[in-house]
């Protein structure tokens, strides 16, 4: 099976074209360093799906119980790398990102009745295990219909990557009224937030830090795709992972009945009501 190779004489764009992989949805194959940290991150990811309220101390204790030699300092560093934090209020939750120009926007969903497609989109990033390494998946879900309007795979979490994913979703599905994210640096950066001024009427909403429950629909989707696809069918390279994620996205949107939608499929709700 083909694989994107950054060291090849052909550009990444040309390789994606030849392999029929959209360039905007695939950002390089990951570095396969076979590190101990990657093994730890796989274990952290699986446990976090079950117990998202686990902070560093509890996760450290859990990993020690599995036989891993770890300390809180290492686990705290891996939590930052995976963009994880325990669900629940934390001290200084309103404190903005320390980077110059980064801003925290108000949370606009409190008390809001979501009753139509493209009213609210939720956007988030999650860690994806891959062989002896890992990649990241960004996804955008329409809150009303649970329809995935956009996604992209990358081996690094960058603002440009997130912005291009949102731009592609808007091109395909139109401009939503509100986009809700967490306070991650990719979303609080000037490059990402400036995007909203270019679309009249588009509002930017942010969760309180450490409150993954605010973005519950995309968080539930991460659990679904990992337990129903990623963990069941491990991938050894980026292209294989991309294809499996693409298969699941199609299945989730068009075939998988959703209990919260009275067992209708997201595409039925999204296209009927849009």
DSSP output for 57-101: HHHHHHHHHTT----HHHHHHHHHHHT---SS--TTTTPPPSSTT
pLDDT band at 1 (very low <50, low <70, confident <90, very high): very low
Window from 54-58, 138-142, 247-251 with minimum mean pLDDT: 54-58
| pLDDT value of residue 133 | 86
| pLDDT value of residue 197 | 79
- For residues 242 and 95, which has the higher predicted lDDT (pLDDT)? 242
Q: How many residues does the chain have?
A: 274
- For residues 254 and 196, which has the higher predicted lDDT (pLDDT)? 254
pLDDT band at 95 (very low <50, low <70, confident <90, very high): very low
Digit-coded pLDDT (tens) for 41-50? 999 999 998 8
pLDDT of 148 > 60? The answer is yes
- pTM tops 0.85, yes or no: no
| pLDDT value of residue 30 | 46
**For the residues 94-115, what does the mean pLDDT come to?**
73
Q: What percent of the chain has pLDDT over 90?
A: 54
pLDDT band at 272 (very low <50, low <70, confident <90, very high): confident
Digit-coded pLDDT (tens) for 234-250? 998 888 999 999 999 99
Name the token pair of 88.
């629940």
Beta bridge partners of 139: 124, 151
| pLDDT value of residue 22 | 61
Residue 5 contacts by C-beta under 8 Å, 6 or more apart in sequence?
Answer: 15, 29
Mean pLDDT taken over the chain: 84
pLDDT band at 214 (very low <50, low <70, confident <90, very high): low
**For the residues 150-178, what does the mean pLDDT come to?**
94
pLDDT of 232 > 50? The answer is yes
Q: How far apart are CA 128 and CA 118, in angstroms?
A: 27
- Cβ distance 3 to 238 under 8 Å? yes
Q: How far apart are CA 165 and CA 125, in angstroms?
A: 11
Domains of the chain by range and CATH?
A: 12-82 (no CATH), 120-273 (3.30.420.10)
The DSSP output letter for 249 is H
CA-based angle 91:92:95, to the nearest 5?
Answer: 155
Q: What percent of the chain has pLDDT over 70?
A: 78
Query: What are the backbone dihedrals phi and psi of residue 270, each rounded to the nearest 5 degrees, phi first?
Result: -65, -50
Rg of the chain, C-alpha, whole Å: 19
Strands (E), the chain: 26-27, 120-130, 133-142, 148-154, 178-181, 203-206
- For residues 74 and 25, which has the higher predicted lDDT (pLDDT)? 74
pLDDT of 8 > 80? The answer is no
């Amino acid at each position: 099976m083909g694989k994107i190779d950054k060291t090849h004489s052909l550009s990444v764009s040309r390789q994606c074209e030849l392999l029929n992989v959209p360039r905007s949805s695939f950002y390089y194959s990951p570095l396969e360093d076979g590190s101990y940290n990657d093994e730890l991150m796989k274990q952290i990811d699986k446990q976090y799906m079950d117990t998202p309220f686990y902070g560093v101390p509890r996760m450290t204790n859990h990993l020690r119980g599995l036989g891993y030699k770890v300390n809180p300092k290492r686990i705290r560093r891996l939590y930052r790398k995976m963009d994880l934090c325990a669900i629940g209020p934390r001290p200084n939750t309103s404190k903005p990102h320390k980077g110059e120009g980064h801003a925290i926007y108000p949370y606009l969903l409190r008390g809001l009745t979501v009753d139509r497609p493209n009213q609210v989109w939720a956007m988030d990033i999650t860690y994806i295990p891959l062989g002896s390494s890992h990649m990241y998946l960004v996804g955008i879900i329409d809150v009303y219909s649970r329809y995935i309007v956009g996604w992209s795979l990358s081996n690094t979490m960058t603002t440009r990557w997130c912005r291009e994913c949102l731009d592609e979703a808007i091109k395909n599905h139109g401009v939503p009224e509100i986009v809700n994210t967490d306070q991650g640096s990719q979303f609080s950066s000037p490059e990402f937030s400036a995007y909203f001024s270019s679309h009249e009427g588009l509002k930017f909403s942010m969760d309180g830090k450490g409150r993954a429950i605010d973005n519950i629909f995309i968080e539930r989707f991460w659990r679904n795709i990992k337990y129903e696809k990623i963990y069941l069918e491990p991938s050894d390279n980026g292209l294989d992972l991309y294809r499996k994620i693409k298969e699941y996205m199609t299945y989730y949107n068009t075939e998988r009945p959703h209990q919260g939608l009275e067992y209708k499929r997201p595409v039925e709700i999204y296209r009927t009501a849009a």
